[in-house]
Amino acid sequence: MVRPISIFEVPNHYLGNVVQVAQQHGYDASKLVAQADLKLEELGNWNARISLQKYFHIVRLIVADAGIPGLGLLIGKSENQAGHGVLGHAVLSAHDLRGALKTFIDYQELTGACIYVTLQDQNEIAILNYHEVYPLGAIREFEMDCTLASVLGVFSQLQGGRDPFTEIHVTWPKSDHSEMYLELFNCPVRFDRQRCQLHFSTAHLNLPMQLRNPDVHELCRQQCEMQYSEISWNCRIASRVRNAIIESGDHIPTLLEVADNLHLSSRTLRRHLTNSGTSFRKIIEEIKIAHAQRLLVESDLPISEVGFQIGYLSPHGFHHAFKQHSGMTPNEFRRVYSFG
């Protein structure tokens, strides 16, 4: 019997790609993999999955220890869409880029990805928006880089339409691998922006895919729909609650506001979250701690100020909550994950 898919797991080969690319650049992650009770050969299994928690733990250690500039971009660039299984084949067999992107967006939860992609079509410019829907903390830039660069594989399958990208927006400052964005995307990069985005000409949305095949595409979409139905409705609701809170920016919405946005009553939303093993308060707490992790790594703010910025008036309360979620104190987290 096939085990149901969970949105809190990722395919083994996602971690396998990280390990392989790191090894190609001189870093041996085999000990870290073994310490996590995994075998290297298991990472090549496209059908097996590991928990997000285990994936994040190993990736954080690799990123911190390997010190490879632009590792996320290197991994995303090397990614094969077929690595997404039936979803990848559905994307590549779409009639045009618009259909390919729509297919991926419709079923992206099947990938277990912690970054949610949306498409805006604004007159002459189309925009892919990248939203953090699972707290990424210190590996946020790495995961965003992976996701940004992975879209290159889709655009490379277009018939015509060279150099489609007009600009990239990222939320972090210029770094030691900033030139890699220009090399990969051949367009200007805007740093310190509010949201990660990829801008390209809307004309490319109507360009045909090289591997378009309506029969294969429809069959693969049907299989995606079957897999999607296996994901617990409660877990999908929890994922969408996280997305709604993150997209609200500095304004933290109430449970009633999020419930209205999802066309549910507040009582029904509470029940779904309870059934998925979480609560509205826990999700907000996760997002706040992820923001604190980012501030600890990307700024020199005193720890008390970091706590204050995410809503903790008491340093003791912040330390307790942070250690409960992160497994270490804010000081320890800053020391371990402040790269460079």
Summarised one tens digit per residue, pLDDT across range 174-186 is: 988 899 999 999 9
The DSSP line for 277-331 is: T--HHHHHHHHHHHHHHHHHHH----HHHHHHHTT-S-HHHHHHHHHHHHSS-HH
Q: With contact defined as beta carbons under 8 Å apart, do 144 and 135 qualify? A: no
Mark whether 245 and 328 lie in a shared domain: no
Last residue of a domain, one of 156, 187, 206: 206
pLDDT given at position 8: 59
Asked whether residue 324 carries a pLDDT value surpassing 90, the answer given is no
Residues 139 and 254 both lie in one domain: no
47 inside domain: no
| DSSP state letter for 96 | B
Confidence (pTM)? 0.72
Encode pLDDT of 137-150 as tens digits.
Answer: 778 899 999 999 99
134/160: higher pLDDT: 160
- Output the pLDDT for position 176: 85
Is the pLDDT reported for residue 206 higher than 90? yes
Confidence (pLDDT) at 132: 80
Say if residue 262 is in the same domain as residue 330: no
Least reliable range by pLDDT among 37-41, 102-106, 144-148, 169-173: 37-41
Q: What is the mean pLDDT of the chain?
A: 86
Q: Which residue has the tokens 């994936």?
A: 55
Q: Which residues contact 232 (CB under 8 A, 6 or more apart)?
A: 4, 6, 276
Residue 301: Cβ within 10 Å count: 15
Average pLDDT on 207-236 reads 87
Instruction: Check whether residue 269 and residue 304 sit in a common domain.
Output: no
H/E stretch holding 148: helix 140-150
- Identify whether residues 130 and 76 lie together within a single domain: yes
Which has more confidence, 188 or 275?
188
Is 29 a member of any domain? no
- Tens of pLDDT, residue by residue over 54-81, are 888 889 889 989 999 999 999 999 887 6
- pLDDT value of position 5: 42
- pLDDT confidence bin for 3, thresholds 50/70/90: very low
Q: Which of 191, 206, 221 is the last residue of a domain?
A: 206
Where does a domain end: 161, 191, 206? 206
Same domain, 73 and 195: yes
Residue pLDDT, tens place only, 258-267:
999 888 899 9
Quick one: 191 and 93 in the same domain?
yes
Q: What is the mean pLDDT of residues 229-241?
A: 74
Distance CA 81, CA 157 (A): 10
pLDDT at 293: 82
Residue 18: is its pLDDT beyond 70?
yes
Q: Are 37 and 266 in contact (CB under 8 A)?
A: no
**Lowest model confidence (mean pLDDT) among 10-19, 139-148, 231-240, 248-257:** 231-240
260 and 318 both lie in a single domain: no
Domain range enclosing 197: 69-206
Residues 261 and 305 in one domain: no
Residues whose CB is less than 8 angstroms from the CB of residue 92 and which lie 6 or more positions away in sequence, other chains included: 81, 82, 100, 154, 157, 209, 211
Confirm if 64 and 138 have CB atoms less than 8 A apart. yes
Report the range of poorest mean pLDDT among 114-128, 190-204, 209-223: 114-128
Decide: residue 101, CB within 10 A, 0-12 exposed, 13-18 middle, 19+ buried.
buried
pLDDT band at 119 (very low <50, low <70, confident <90, very high): very high
The pLDDT score that the predictor gives to residue 277 is: 79
- Residue 257 has φ and ψ, to the nearest 5°, of -65, -45
Judged against a pLDDT cut of 80, whether residue 294 lies above it is answered with no
The CATH number of the domain holding residue 327 is 1.10.10.60
Angstrom distance (rounded) from CA 286 to CA 67: 27
Residue 4 has pLDDT above 60, yes or no: no
Quick check: 228 pLDDT over 60?
Answer: yes
Regarding whether 79 and 202 lie in a shared domain, the answer is yes
State how many domains the chain has: 3
Q: Which of 140-149, 191-200, 237-246 has the lowest mean pLDDT?
A: 237-246
Q: What is the CA radius of gyration of the chain?
A: 20
Residue 170 lies in a domain: yes
On whether both 88 and 158 belong to a single domain, the answer is: yes
Please compute the mean of the pLDDT values over residues 274-294 and round it to a whole number: 86
